[in-house]
Structure 1
Amino acid sequence: MLFSALFLGSAIGHMTQTKAMAGYASARGVPAAAAAVFGSGVLLLAAGLSVLLGVWADLGSLLVVVFLVPTAVLMHGFWRETDPQARQLEMIQFQKDMALADAGLMLFALIAHTGHDLGLTLTGPLFDIG
């Protein structure tokens, strides 16, 4: 539930503060920043609800990864920073995004492997790696 809450809160922010977030995304070189911010908010909402409600939670966890890996690279490219403090802050954000992506992959594997035996989902997994 806590894992989902992080992404649901972020989804709300993406969809209610699109203009402000798009300015930051645009400064980072994201093309069509407003559409990307709003679209990623929808993606996060779908992923967070999927994991929280246990409806194809394996797919939801993969959607989290689909959001986090490009976000880490595009938005938190610490290697582009010349200021040591800015580099450190971006490195922390990059590592956080990658760690959460790894958690999403682990959740995917757990759900896709155990299927209905896990007992925490409303539907079975969409993928079967058992």
Structure 2
Amino acid sequence: MDVLVLRGRILFAVVFLSSAVGHLTQHKQLGAYAAAKGVPAAEASTVLSGVVMLLGGLSIVLGVRADLGALLIAVFVFPAALVMHAFWKESDAQTRQTEQISFLKDTALGGAAPVMPAFFAYAGHDLGLTLPGPLFHLG
């Protein structure tokens, strides 16, 4: 079970870790894109979002307070979906479809992220490959 959970954590976090690298290494270009979407302090917001994704993703992969890392991801991804992928504002059909796919991906990942803290609170002490155990507890 430990390896199965580890594999799931890695696969879940890969998208955020790769996006974090992009946000941190291409912050000028992505900041300009964010500015076009109306994000205030766009370049700084791009760097901050990269740091949040990096910390959350590493936390999940390494199993160090993975429940808290997953909450960081959830806090980031929902506002990002609403601001960056507002498909309902697009008039071009192809752009609308692309933004809708990105919006749905982000909301699906954002919906899965809060499941992790609940899972770790319930079964965290029985799982190996995590340090130092869940931050949150049920009951």
**Structure 2 length as normaliser, TM-score?**
0.89
Q: What is the TM-score with the length of structure 1 in the denominator? A: 0.95
Q: Does 1:29 align with 2:38?
A: yes
* Structure 2 CA distance for aligned equivalents of residues 73 and 129 of structure 1: 31
Cα distance in 2 between the residues matched to 1:90 and 1:102: 18
Amino acid across the alignment from 2:92: D
Residues 1:101 and 2:110 are matched in the alignment: yes
1:17 to 12, 15, 26: 26
In structure 1, give the amino acid aligned to 2:57: G
User: How many residues are treated as equivalent by the alignment?
Assistant: 130
Q: Contact (CA 8 Å) 1:78, 1:87: kept in 2 or not?
A: yes
Runs of 4+ in 1 over 3 A off after TM superposition: none
Q: Which residue of 2 aligns with 1:44?
A: 53
| Distance in 2 (alpha carbons) for counterparts of 1:94 and 1:73 | 7
Question: Offset at 1:105?
Answer: 1.5
The 5 A counterparts of 1:1-130 are 1-130=10-139
Alpha-carbon distance, 1:21 to partner = 0.2
Q: Is the 8 A contact 1:116 1:123 kept in 2?
A: no
Rounded to whole Å, the distance in 2 between the matches of 1:115 and 1:57 is 10
User: What are the Cα deviations for residues 68-127 of structure 1, in whole angstroms up to 9, with x where unaligned?
Assistant: 101100000011111122111111110000001111122221112222112231211111
Contact 1:10 1:44 in 2 (8 A): yes
Deviation (angstroms), 1:46: 0.6
Tell me the distance in 2 between the aligned counterparts of 1:97 and 1:20: 21
Where does structure 2 lack aligned partners over 5 or more consecutive residues?
Answer: 1-9
